Structure 1
Amino acid sequence: MSQSTTIRVLIADDVAIVRQGLATIVDRDPEMTAIAQAEDGRQAIALFREYQPDVTLMDLRMPQMSGVEAIVAICAEFKQARIMVLTTYDGDEDIYRGLQAGAQGYLLKDAKPHELLNAIRMIHSGQKYVPPEVGAKLVQRMNNPELSERELDVLRLMAQGMNNLDIAAALNIGESTVKSHVNRILSKLGVNDRTQAVIVAIKRGIVYL
């Protein structure tokens, strides 16, 4: 098969053994080749510029720069970029952020090799690839009330174990303002207390510890 018809794949993941495993799966397919590997978001952008791959496999949580930030940057510069999120995280917020950033697909790392190769082909052909269980979580996310930027700030500090007084000092706002933010956060997440709020937020990928 000539080089021009081969699907050229860029792999971005901060774990070397994962990158090498993905490259092996891709290279075993006679219609594909792994052309480059990035270990963080910044390197992914640089390698995308250099190679302009047909399809990019992008992990979400990487050092230096996250996958979501890298997807946003690549899609802003290259309108035809075809990117698939490949991650261990299935929180509805992670799925939402990845696809909103410009990814055309979302696949979990426990997928079988044939599913990965099929997804790459679909995205290369201009289709989207979202497995049913991922799609269901995305629908759930779309129906959930959106947290404001300030509420997200408060929630992140709650996850660090701060009380209202600490949060007020950290954000330079009044303690009563923090209290009203906390009440809105509990309401939007559908929980009764701060501990539940943090657990739900971590599970959904809204905040990371």
Structure 2
Amino acid sequence: MERVRVAVHAKDSVTRWGIAGYLRLRPEVQVLPEHSLSNAQVVLVATEGAGLTAELRIVAQRTSACVVLITDDLRAQELPRAIDHRVVAILPRRDLTCEGLVSTVLAAFEGRSELPAMAGLAERELDMLRLFAEGWTTAEVAKKLSYSERTVKSMVQQVLTRFQLRNRTHAVAFAIRSGAI
């Protein structure tokens, strides 16, 4: 079995050493020093507060590895930027377990996304985005879902505002990358 090369990036050494110390006990994981981010297959980023996006940007500049974010502070509107910085999974710090951490690292390595992304979307909004992803027009989506075109446009606008997306295409791309559709 191939060991997954993991690096841990955290502002504080207690968090960094705690996560790395546990992972070193696991045979399926090889913990790399933080200065070896470029050699990692998965990077764990543990951060909170206003500097979250900046920390993700720093990591993205140093590696092309996928990122597992450990935080209790991510707001819905920050999710697109997190995904742009190769975040494939988000683990709430308050609910973090050692087993959950390892299973998420292995899932990330295997290319499986575990994002709560778009968790705030209603089923009708997801249906709408799926149809747009298939190339349907606003009029066709409205007819298929038995809504008026105005309702569909309103739903699109609500999704764009909630997740701070630029346009319908951006919303569809975001939904696909986050695994929502």
- The answer to whether the superposition gives a TM-score over 0.5 is yes
The higher radius of gyration belongs to 1
Give the 3-state SS of the residue equivalent to 1:128 in structure 2.
coil
Report if the CA contact (8 A) 1:99-1:106 is conserved: no
- Note the residue ranges of structure 2 that are not aligned, 5 or more in a row: 123-157, 167-181
How many Å separate the matches in 2 of 1:109 and 1:95? Answer: 16
How many Å separate the matches in 1 of 2:48 and 2:61? Answer: 16
Task: Kindly report the root-mean-square deviation, in angstroms, between the aligned alpha carbons of the 2 structures.
Answer: 2.9
Report if the CA contact (8 A) 1:84-1:105 is conserved: yes
Structure 2 match to 1:203: none
- Note the residue ranges of structure 1 that are not aligned, 5 or more in a row: 38-45, 149-209
Structure 2 match to 1:47: 36
Aligned pairs for 1:22-101 (under 5 A) are 22-37=19-34, 47-49=36-38, 52-60=39-47, 66-74=54-62, 78=64, 81-101=65-85
Q: Which of 84, 90, 93 lines up with 1:109 in the alignment?
A: 93
Report if the CA contact (8 A) 1:26-1:32 is conserved: yes
Structure-2 change in CA distance of 1:119 and 1:32 (3 Å): same
TM-score by structure 2 length? 0.58
How many Å separate the matches in 2 of 1:104 and 1:147? Answer: 18
Quick one: percent identity of the two aligned structures?
15
Runs of 4+ in 1 over 4 A off after TM superposition: 60-63
TM-score by structure 1 length? 0.51
**Post-superposition offset of 1:147:** 8.1
Amino acid of the residue matched to residue 84 of structure 2? Answer: Q
Count of residue correspondences: 126
Structure-2 change in CA distance of 1:72 and 1:24 (3 Å): closer
